[in-house]
Amino acid sequence: MADYQTIVVGTDGSESSLHAVARAGAIAGEGTTLVIACAYFVNDGRSASAASDALGADAYQVMGSSPTEEILRSARERAKAAGAGNVQTRSVKGAPVDALLQLVTDVQADLLVVGNKGLNSIAGRLLGSVPADVARKAACDVLIVHTT
């Protein structure tokens, strides 16, 4: 795994996503940059239920940027404990798939790590899921970690 220079991993603060963060941290080790991302949704005046309706399968997504600080702090600790040396954190506005793919481009990542949550659900099969969508659309290697 030493060929990876920059790894991006997404988290929403759930235990499942933190498992993916730990796996990414172990892969990154000391010599690779690990960028941990937390996507958030900005409520532009709509009610929380309207925002939830708009997000559909991504309704678990963090609302507003404030909670991301604590989520990213916890994720950073988890990645460091797993062996990551160079850890950066990013709060990114938008839907998880779009936010992760844009971040991969921005930091020129060569590996994107996501958990498998939603991959085997009925909604995931019908509507798509974060792991399935990033696996189809990413321009780099994608590791889908079994977290459920």
- The residue ranges of every structural domain in the chain are 6-145
CB 36 within 8 A of CB 75: yes
pLDDT digit string, tens, across residues 10-57: 998 888 889 999 999 999 998 899 999 998 876 555 544 544 454 444
Report d(CA 102, CA 104) in Å as an integer.
5
The CATH code of domain 6-145 reads 3.40.50.620
Q: What is the pLDDT of residues 103-146, one digit of tens each?
A: 999 999 999 999 886 544 443 343 347 888 898 999 999 999 98
